[in-house]
Amino acid sequence: MSKSADIMQRYREVMFPAATPYHGDNPLIADHAKDQYIWDIEGRRYLDFFGGILTVSVGHCNDEITERALAQLQKLQHTSTIYVNEIMVRLAEKVAELTPGRLQKCFFTNSGTEANETAVLAARMYTGNPVIITLRHAYSGRSMLAMSLSAQQPWRLGGVVDPYVKHVRNPYTFRAPKGMTPEQVVDLCAQDLEETIATGTEGRIAAFMAEPIQGAGGFIVPPEDYFRRIMPIVKAAGGIFIADEVQTGWGRTGGHWCGIEHWGVEPDIMTFAKGMGNGSPIGCTIASPEVADALAGLTFSTFGGNPVTMATTLATIEYMEAHDTPGNCAVQGARMAERLAEFAAEFPIVGETRGMGLMQAIEIVQPGNNNQPDAPRTAAFVDTCKEMGLLLGKGGLYGNVVRIAPHLNVSAEDMDTAMEIVAKALAEVS
C-alpha cells in the first residue's frame, strides 16, 4: 500500500466524513510548503492558486512572518482576554487605520464564523432588533447561526434555523432571469429587499449583511451600483450594514484594502478572517465606536487576541503594506482576467468568467443547454489541473464554479504558468 493510501485509510477511520477533501479518490496529502508551492507526501510539487481557501495570502511559510511568529512564541504565547498584551493593541490600531470610514474598535476571535457571530450580536444589541437580512448564495460559516445566515443548501445542516434571518435575491447577473440587463437585476434585488422587509418583518431590521463579492457562492460580482441602491432601503428600516470581508479583505480585489471600497458605501461593521493571518487562525470584527460599545455585558474568547496570532497577523499585514499587495492584485488580476476572457471565447464549456483582482472565476456549463451547470466536468477540470501541477478551488451553489485565488504577491511568471495549465486542462475536459 502506498503511503498516501495508508494515510487515507487511517484518516477515514478517525475523522468525521463530512469534511470531504478535494480530488475524490486521489486527495492531496500535504507534506510541506514554501511560498507559492506545496509538496505532497509522495514528493510531487504543486503551484498553489487557492492558498488553503484564500488564506495563505503572502506565501506558505513566509520567512519574515515565520520569524516574527517564532519570536513571539518564545516571548509570550497566551494570556486570554483577561490580560492585555501590546501586540493585540497594535494589530487593532493597524486594522482601524486600513479599514474605511468610522470603523475603529476590534474584537478578535479564531475564525470567520466567530467574527460573523460577533457582528450579528453587536448589530442586534445596537438596534434592539433581531432581524438580519442576508443574500442567497451567501456563506457565513459553520455555527448554528452562521449556517442559518448561509444560503446554500449543501452547507446548511442540523435542521435548526434562526427564525430572524431572512434571505433576499443576490445580484447574480449570470443566472438572473433571461435577457435582464445588470440594471434590471439591481432593480429586482432592490424590489425583493423592500418586499421582504414589508412582508417578512415588522418593518424594522437589525442589519443587512453581505460579502462585497460572494466567495463560496462562486465569486459573484455585483453590478457597480448594487450596494448604493440597497443601502438606503436598509437604513430606512433602521438597519446597519455588516460587510463580510472574510474572502475579499486585504487587497484581494485589487486597488483597495477592502472589497467594499469598490462599491461606494460604508459599513458599520466589518468581519475578517482567512488571509488576514496568512494561515494563522484569526477572526476579527471591527465596528464603529457606538456599535462596538453597544455590545455591553460579559463576553470573551479564550484564544481571541492570542499574542502569537496577533504577532503573525500584524507581520502579515505589514508585509502586505511593504509589498503593496492591493497594487499587485490589481495588476496580476487584470493579467489573469484577460486570459480568462480568451478562454471564455474559445471553450463552449466556459459559461462566464468573472472576478476582481486575484479573485477570478470560471463558471462551467453544459454547452448548448441553456448554461446548465456542469458540476462533474468542473470537478474533472480541477482534478486535471492538479494532475498538471496546479491547485485551484471549486465553489458555487451548483458546484460548477472554478475559483482561482493565488497569493496576493503572485508573480507574472507564475500567473502565466498557471494560465497555460488552465488552457491545457480546459482543452482536455472539453
Ligand X SMILES: Cc1ncc(COP(=O)(O)O)c(C=O)c1O
Which residues lie near ligand X (CB under 6 A)?
53, 111-113, 116, 139-142, 211, 215-216, 244, 246-247, 273
Residue (53 or 125) nearer to ligand X, CB: 53
Spatial separation of the C-alpha atoms in residues 196 and 188, rounded to whole Å? 12
Give the residue with the Cβ less far from ligand X, 244 or 383.
244
Distance between CA atoms of 385 and 104, rounded to whole angstroms? 42
Smallest distance, Å, CB 141 to ligand X? 4
Nearest residue to ligand X by CB is 112
Taking the complex as a whole, how short is the minimal distance between the CB of residue 144 and ligand X, in angstroms? 13
Nearer to ligand X by Cβ, of 113 and 278: the residue is 113
Q: Min. distance of Cβ 114 from ligand X in angstroms?
A: 7
Give min distance, CB of 272 to ligand X, in A. 9
DSSP code for 257: S
Cell of 362: 470560471
| Min CB(50)–ligand X separation in Å | 12
Alpha-carbon radius of gyration of the chain: 21
Per-residue exposure over 121-151, b if at least 16 CB sit within 10 Å of its own CB, e if not? bbbbbbbebbbbbbbbbbbbbeeebbbbbbb
CB 248 within 8 A of CB 215: yes
Cell readout for 209 is 449583511
What φ, ψ does residue 106 adopt, rounded to 5°? Answer: -105, 150
Nearer to ligand X, 131 or 405 (CB): 405
Closer Cβ to ligand X, 141 or 357, answer by number:
141
Alpha-carbon span 116 to 109, nearest angstrom: 10
8 A C-beta contact, residue 390 and residue 47:
yes
Q: Give 85 or 113: the residue with its C-beta nearer to ligand X.
A: 113
CB 75 to ligand X: min, Å: 26
